[in-house]
A and B are shown apart, each in its own frame.
Chain A
Amino acid sequence: MYRIGVDIGGTFTDLVVVEDAGAVHFGKIASTPEDQSIGVMAGLDMMAGRLLMPLVAMLGQTERIVHGMTVATNALLERKGARLGLLTTEGHRDVLEMREGLKPERYNLRLPRHPALAPRALRFGVRERMRDTGSVETSLDMDSLDTAIEALRGEKVEAIAVCYLHAYANPAHEQQTRDRLAELLPDVYVSLSSDVLPQIKEYERVSTTAVNAYVGPALERYLARLQNRLKETGYSGPALITLSHGGVAPISEAIRLAAGTVLSGPAGGLAGARHASGVLDVGDLIPFDMGGTSTDISLIVDGETTLSSDRVVAGERIALSSLDIVTLGAGGGSIASVDTGGLLNVGPHSAGASPGPACYGNGGVEPTVTDANVALGFLNPDGFSGGGSALDTKAANTALDVLAGKLGVERITAAEGVFRVVNTQMAEGVRLATVRRGVDPRRFALFGFGGAAGLHVTSLARMLDIKRAIIPRMASVLSAWGMLTTDLRYEMSRTKIGEIGEMRPEELQMLFGGLEGDVKGALSAWFEGDIRTSRTADMRYGEQIFEIDVDLNHIDFADEGAGQAAKQAFEARHEELYTYSLPDREPVLVNARVAAIGELSAPPAEPLVARGPDLKARGVRKIYLGAWMDAPVFAFSELPAGQLITGPALIEADTTTVLLRAADTALVTDTGWLDIAISD
């Protein structure tokens, strides 16, 4: 039987097929933005071809397809989501657009206004009001609701977000509103804030709910098409969708919680990195995913990822828990420029997929990071990006010459400058990510994947004083592979504000026990196996605004000292993150969270790569690392286990190239990955 991972990115759709025996096959095919399911089916067909069988036969022997996609992300980034209406409590119509009073780009006072996902004309107040205790202050006024619904009908909205004040404490009015909408506007996609994010803080809740309803219809249409195509092709197994928190869920759940798919792809990559951490027995990793327009950085500490809920995508706040990933606006396509003060900048503008870097020969004229890498000799001018298309070295040089002229330096110096500056930016990004988590990057290994990471990890590691870098064999399709390593996950949270140390065990039992029953119930609708649960809580000191996520799994809530134990867990975590705790102050519980996890069978171990005589270099290329030098070039996929390669050297795969700097040594692992010792 096969398991298939599919990850759709902006340019390529990546596919990974894992056999029972562990063999991993992977490939890439162009994405089809107008209907991503076309690209998926073409990719599946391609993989079936590689397995020398018809598509129907391959799908007939497939037990699971796990899928990550950018449908929701693109709808948000390109502002092509649904025509969205918003219902709020009367008198609070503008909570979405107010953005808590914040405007980006502090010194840019000529910045145009950021349009809200639901413009004011499509936002309506409804007469109703709850209290923070959950008591009803003003009952839902059905006339007021019907008037708003009629107006939304007139505006021909495709989706409606409903977010009433304190609905986390009592969702009755939102539920009555949903029922009424189902009667009057049955074809409209509806999201309730009490369903999407039932927790206190109205801006986070309304924004997340609005994003959910905005991207929901597009996601629903896409997944319906995909499901049909798979069905037509004879696939009857489960299709699971990767969510931003790194777990997977069936299609129906992804449609309900559409905003939770926004980080689907990066979550797959991080899931893969976490799995790799276990396989490699390296607990502390910095997953570093460098693509064409951006770079995702995260942390794995003691083999575990962390969840965070402070994500902003395309200027919109999404407060659902998602894997903690820092995205930097620098990648292979980032454009280098010289400012009027004569200093070199890389990014934030990117040549994107079209025209792409000058060396792609598609009309790009501005020098990018990739063009610099070509000039430095790091990339094979004869073939790149799997498609094997040759690079236009001349166009890259022309673009760099303009830059060099402005800097008053030689072309090669300019190219090296671009390489150094982008590496510095990424190193600062890693530092920021680690200080935020209160850890020292030096004890970590860099785990590089994504098309562009291989050329930059060894330089980045030096800047951060990191001694080890690891590149998996499937570096260019890690997200698709990672999706096959995750479990089913269903999360719920509930707001309950109070001093945790004072809470009675019965109170905690009722709160967490209730949530546990709910999440298990939801998950068992899609899953028959054993379900385990994980309990965490968002807590803070009284005066603080930021809550921190505290693991409570080790606490027995039947125990008399449960509240105190939770308090201590908070203090330990606070100290870890912020260097201090205040034992004489009472931490406040804000949100209780429980996740139900349905464990899927882990992917079989990768087969071992044969040992053998050292592979000889397939050629030598001149590269520039402060001076021109000869670098032997090796074929990544043909390396035998145990081979040791000393830099300077280049190790090339179809879709990625790894640079070893002088005296770096790469050991080929038993599964054919590169384990690189960075020289001093």
Chain B
Amino acid sequence: MTISIDPITTSVIQHRLTGIVEEMGEAMLRTSYSQILNSSRDFSMALCGADGGLLAQAEHIPVHVGAMTWAAKEVIEYFEGNIFPGDVFLLNDPYFGGSHLPDVTVIVPVFVDGNCLFWTLNRAHHSDIGGATHGAYNAAATEIWQEGLRIPPIKLYVKGVRRDDLHRMLSVNVRHPRDFEGDLAAQTGSAKLGEKRLGELIAESGVETVSAAMARILDAAEAQARAVIKTWTDGVYYGTALLDDDGRGNEDIAIRTTVTIDGDSIEVDLSDSDPQVESFINSSFANTQSAVVMTYAFLLDPGIAQNAGTIRPLTVKAKEGTVVWAKPGAPVTLCTSHCSQEIIEAIVDAIAPACPERAMAGWGKRFRIAIKGEDPRNGAPFIWHMFHARPGAGASSGGDGWHGSGEWHSAGGLKFGSVEVAEARFPLFFERHEYRPGSGGDGQYGGGAGCELLLRLETASDCKVNTAGEGVRHAAAGRQGGRDGAPHDYRVRAPGGDIRVLKTKEEGVDVQAGTVFEVLSGGGGGWGDPAQRTVKARAVDEREGLPPYLGKA
């Protein structure tokens, strides 16, 4: 099947493939209906080859970038010899190609002349996936079964016919079955659209041409990646990043990397990381590999396509039983945020001397709050997930970090909803929501500011609060002489004036009606020596009322 292919046909087919994944994303955006999907866009689309290797991916959530390939590979392995046109596969299990349980992946085989040559994939974060607490983020979980429903690779449609019994079994195991079913239908529709479009492309251009072009697209991406890596200084580098704690009293959980740059290749070895812990900050190996690929994508030039060719120069190593490769059964829900972000930081920490201009400072960390209660206006129960009060972005050689642009693993890709809509729909009152002065790390380029949120709970009865996050002890790290950003500081002030500090990993905290959440989110890290910051830039900081973080008061 080797035919020669010219660079122009290759370029044309690359545009077609990009068009297909974008179209899948557009269809998903427009047809999903849970808030987390259609407003926060927490989903990704991919096309993979027969072996599961990534061919094209739409730009959605960075932490999904290297992850989809593992899902395709699990399906291929488990269902070998049992894959037919019209089949639709599903999985979410982190130990079988998933990332964490709320991320459900739909996988559709694309057949050409009786052979399965491609896969279309759609991964989306569902608002609930069962388990002990709503929304899957269960700080109390000690094993994955408490986090939600595990779905290893299953066949949801057999030759075009849905297995209704299986579908119902999934639905009854989640708290919002209608959202789940609607979003799953949107995912399936979007993956099937990709299948159809890919089929049209093959019918037009011929399978040999498309396959040859895809091979060349991967080679081209590889060449681009290698050209960048070649500019990095050869050597063996070591880096470390620390998580605050595991929520069980154990502090400073370390991710350790050994990064070897050798010519145009790079190896990332995470084997020296701390042993796995009891709580949900563990990562599955699939998620760890995605975190490494995401970091790699951040360090390369943004214009380089993300596919299986791009990652050929990259080798990832880790050891089972560590926090970055937990043994099956361990809880992992927080891992797409943390320890993913610490994996990024440990790699950047190591590699900074090899490519200082590319090594960006740390971005703020995720610290979720979910509030569950009853709306006194209509007596209906509600659950509200906080996406507001985003932390600051890290600074870089490109300039100051973006204020309030969120966390490293989403890199400005997650939207927070309207304050007005939140007030209209939930018994919440936003007294204040603006940038937090003195939160961005100092540096030649300053870290982005975090945010301040004062949120009053206007319920008539008490509420339950869950938290899930990091970054109250170890803030976003400065780089190249830049200082760390401010850490998070979240408190609740009861109507009587009692103040309680919210920890990052709490489950079922009781809060009284009328409580005010006082949320100060962390700033991004600074980049470069603060002494190099220009007088003009300092004057602007002053005028804007956003001076840098100067350490704990």
Binding site for B on A (CB under 8 A): 91-95, 97-98, 100-114, 119-121, 125, 131-132, 165-166, 168, 200-203, 338-345, 407-409, 413-414, 416-417, 420-421, 424-425, 427-428, 431-432, 435-436, 497, 541, 543-546, 577-580, 582
Please, which residues of chain A bring their CB within 8 A of the CB of B421? Answer: 200-201, 545
Q: Say whether B79 faces chain A, with CB atoms less than 8 Å apart.
A: no
Please, which residues of chain B bring their CB within 8 A of the CB of A202? Answer: 418-420
| Interchain CA distance A341-B301 in the complex, whole Å | 12
Supplied contacts A113-B403, A579-B31, 14 more A-B pairs, CB within 8 Å: A94-B403, A103-B393, A103-B412, A108-B302, A109-B360, A110-B358, A110-B396, A340-B227, A408-B7, A413-B8, A417-B11, A421-B15, A435-B23, A578-B31
Q: Give which listed residue, A107, A131, A416, A424, contacts B59 with CB less than 8 A.
A: A107
Q: Let me know if A424 and B179 touch, CB within 8 A.
A: no
Q: Which of A111, A545, A582 has the most CB of B within 10 A?
A: A545
Q: Say whether B22 faces chain A, with CB atoms less than 8 Å apart.
A: yes
| Interchain CA distance A203-B417 in the complex, whole Å | 9
Q: Let me know if B11 and A343 touch, CB within 8 A.
A: yes
Q: Say whether B55 faces chain A, with CB atoms less than 8 Å apart.
A: no
| Interchain CA distance A579-B189 in the complex, whole Å | 9
Q: Let me know if B11 and A106 touch, CB within 8 A.
A: no
Q: Say whether B547 faces chain A, with CB atoms less than 8 Å apart.
A: no
Pull 24 A–B residue pairs with CB atoms less than 8 Å apart, ordered by A. A91-B431, A91-B433, A94-B404, A95-B433, A98-B390, A103-B393, A103-B411, A103-B413, A104-B412, A106-B60, A109-B411, A112-B398, A113-B399, A113-B401, A165-B430, A340-B227, A341-B220, A343-B7, A344-B8, A420-B8, A432-B22, A435-B193, A545-B39, A579-B189
Q: Say whether B298 faces chain A, with CB atoms less than 8 Å apart.
A: yes
Q: Give which listed residue, B223, B303, B419, contacts A342 with CB less than 8 A.
A: B223
| Interchain CA distance A644-B544 in the complex, whole Å | 67
| CB interface residues, B 250-296, toward A, < 8 Å | none
| Interchain CA distance A110-B189 in the complex, whole Å | 36
Q: Let me know if A432 and B19 touch, CB within 8 A.
A: yes
- CB-based nearest B residue for A344: B11
Please, which residues of chain B bring their CB within 8 A of the CB of A342? Answer: 7, 220, 223
Q: Let me know if A113 and B400 touch, CB within 8 A.
A: yes
Q: Let me know if A436 and B26 touch, CB within 8 A.
A: yes
| Interchain CA distance A168-B421 in the complex, whole Å | 12
Binding site for A on B (CB under 8 A): 6-8, 10-12, 14-16, 18-19, 22-23, 26-27, 29-31, 33-35, 38-39, 59-60, 62, 179, 182, 185, 189, 193, 217, 219-224, 227, 297-298, 302-304, 306, 358, 360, 387, 390, 393-394, 396-406, 411-421, 423-424, 430-435, 448, 451, 454, 540, 543-546
Please, which residues of chain A bring their CB within 8 A of the CB of B12? Answer: 420-421, 424
Known: A112-B399, A200-B420, A580-B185. A92 touches B433 (CB 8 A): yes
State how many angstroms separate the Cβ of B549 from the closest Cβ of chain A: 17
| Interchain CA distance A233-B503 in the complex, whole Å | 74
Please, which residues of chain A bring their CB within 8 A of the CB of B33? Answer: 541, 543-544
| Interchain CA distance A202-B418 in the complex, whole Å | 6
Please, which residues of chain A bring their CB within 8 A of the CB of B387? Answer: 101
State how many angstroms separate the Cβ of B80 from the closest Cβ of chain A: 33
Q: Let me know if B35 and A345 touch, CB within 8 A.
A: no
Please, which residues of chain A bring their CB within 8 A of the CB of B303? Answer: 339
Q: Give which listed residue, A93, A103, A345, A497, contacts B434 with CB less than 8 A.
A: A93
Q: Let me know if A92 and B434 touch, CB within 8 A.
A: yes
| Interchain CA distance A418-B420 in the complex, whole Å | 48
State how many angstroms separate the Cβ of B328 from the closest Cβ of chain A: 32
Q: Let me know if A200 and B393 touch, CB within 8 A.
A: no
Q: Let me know if B182 and A582 touch, CB within 8 A.
A: yes
Q: Let me know if B179 and A543 touch, CB within 8 A.
A: yes
Q: Which of A101, A102, A435, A541 has the most CB of B within 10 A?
A: A101
State how many angstroms separate the Cβ of A202 from the closest Cβ of chain B: 5
Q: Let me know if A344 and B420 touch, CB within 8 A.
A: no
Known: A341-B221, A420-B12. A106 touches B26 (CB 8 A): no
| Interchain CA distance A200-B399 in the complex, whole Å | 34
- CB-based nearest A residue for B62: A106
4 shortest A-B CB distances, which residue pairs? A103-B412, A341-B220, A110-B398, A428-B19
State how many angstroms separate the Cβ of B8 from the closest Cβ of chain A: 3
Q: Let me know if B419 and A165 touch, CB within 8 A.
A: yes
Q: Let me know if B16 and A428 touch, CB within 8 A.
A: yes
| Interchain CA distance A109-B223 in the complex, whole Å | 22
State how many angstroms separate the Cβ of B296 from the closest Cβ of chain A: 10
Q: Let me know if B15 and A341 touch, CB within 8 A.
A: no
State how many angstroms separate the Cβ of B337 from the closest Cβ of chain A: 15
Please, which residues of chain B bring their CB within 8 A of the CB of A120? Answer: 435, 543-546
State how many angstroms separate the Cβ of B86 from the closest Cβ of chain A: 18
Known: A545-B35, A546-B38. A344 touches B7 (CB 8 A): yes
State how many angstroms separate the Cβ of A32 from the closest Cβ of chain B: 35
State how many angstroms separate the Cβ of B248 from the closest Cβ of chain A: 31
| Interchain CA distance A339-B454 in the complex, whole Å | 49
Please, which residues of chain A bring their CB within 8 A of the CB of B217? Answer: 343
Please, which residues of chain A bring their CB within 8 A of the CB of B31? Answer: 578-580
State how many angstroms separate the Cβ of A602 from the closest Cβ of chain B: 35
| Interchain CA distance A252-B11 in the complex, whole Å | 50
Q: Let me know if B7 and A100 touch, CB within 8 A.
A: no
- CB-based nearest B residue for A426: B15
State how many angstroms separate the Cβ of A298 from the closest Cβ of chain B: 16
Q: Which of B11, B26, B303, B394 has the most CB of A within 10 A?
A: B11
Q: Let me know if B413 and A106 touch, CB within 8 A.
A: yes
State how many angstroms separate the Cβ of A166 from the closest Cβ of chain B: 6
Please, which residues of chain B bring their CB within 8 A of the CB of A578? Answer: 30-31
- CB-based nearest A residue for B358: A110
- CB-based nearest B residue for A338: B7
- CB-based nearest A residue for B546: A120
Q: Let me know if A94 and B11 touch, CB within 8 A.
A: no
Please, which residues of chain B bring their CB within 8 A of the CB of A577? Answer: 30
Please, which residues of chain B bring their CB within 8 A of the CB of A106? Answer: 59-60, 62, 411-413
- CB-based nearest B residue for A422: B15
- CB-based nearest A residue for B17: A428
| Interchain CA distance A93-B404 in the complex, whole Å | 13
| Interchain CA distance A543-B40 in the complex, whole Å | 13
Q: Let me know if A113 and B402 touch, CB within 8 A.
A: yes
Please, which residues of chain A bring their CB within 8 A of the CB of B223? Answer: 340-342
| Interchain CA distance A354-B223 in the complex, whole Å | 34
Please, which residues of chain A bring their CB within 8 A of the CB of B224? Answer: 339-341
Please, which residues of chain A bring their CB within 8 A of the CB of B358? Answer: 110
State how many angstroms separate the Cβ of B315 from the closest Cβ of chain A: 21
Q: Which of B23, B30, B400 has the most CB of A within 10 A?
A: B30
| Interchain CA distance A125-B433 in the complex, whole Å | 11
Q: Let me know if A101 and B414 touch, CB within 8 A.
A: yes
Please, which residues of chain B bring their CB within 8 A of the CB of A427? Answer: 19
Q: Let me know if A103 and B402 touch, CB within 8 A.
A: yes
| Interchain CA distance A200-B421 in the complex, whole Å | 7
| Interchain CA distance A57-B48 in the complex, whole Å | 68
Q: Which of B38, B398, B401, B420 has the most CB of A within 10 A?
A: B420
| Interchain CA distance A582-B454 in the complex, whole Å | 37
Please, which residues of chain B bring their CB within 8 A of the CB of A121? Answer: 540, 543-545
State how many angstroms separate the Cβ of B205 from the closest Cβ of chain A: 11
Please, which residues of chain B bring their CB within 8 A of the CB of A132? Answer: 420, 423-424
- CB-based nearest A residue for B432: A91
Q: Let me know if B416 and A109 touch, CB within 8 A.
A: no
State how many angstroms separate the Cβ of A173 from the closest Cβ of chain B: 15
State how many angstroms separate the Cβ of B110 from the closest Cβ of chain A: 18
Known: A109-B394, A428-B19. A103 touches B546 (CB 8 A): no
State how many angstroms separate the Cβ of B397 from the closest Cβ of chain A: 6
Please, which residues of chain A bring their CB within 8 A of the CB of B393? Answer: 103, 109
- CB-based nearest B residue for A497: B424
| Interchain CA distance A446-B34 in the complex, whole Å | 36
Please, which residues of chain B bring their CB within 8 A of the CB of A425? Answer: 15
Q: Which of B7, B14, B60, B416 has the most CB of A within 10 A?
A: B7
Known: A121-B544, A202-B418, A343-B217. A111 touches B62 (CB 8 A): no
| Interchain CA distance A417-B13 in the complex, whole Å | 12
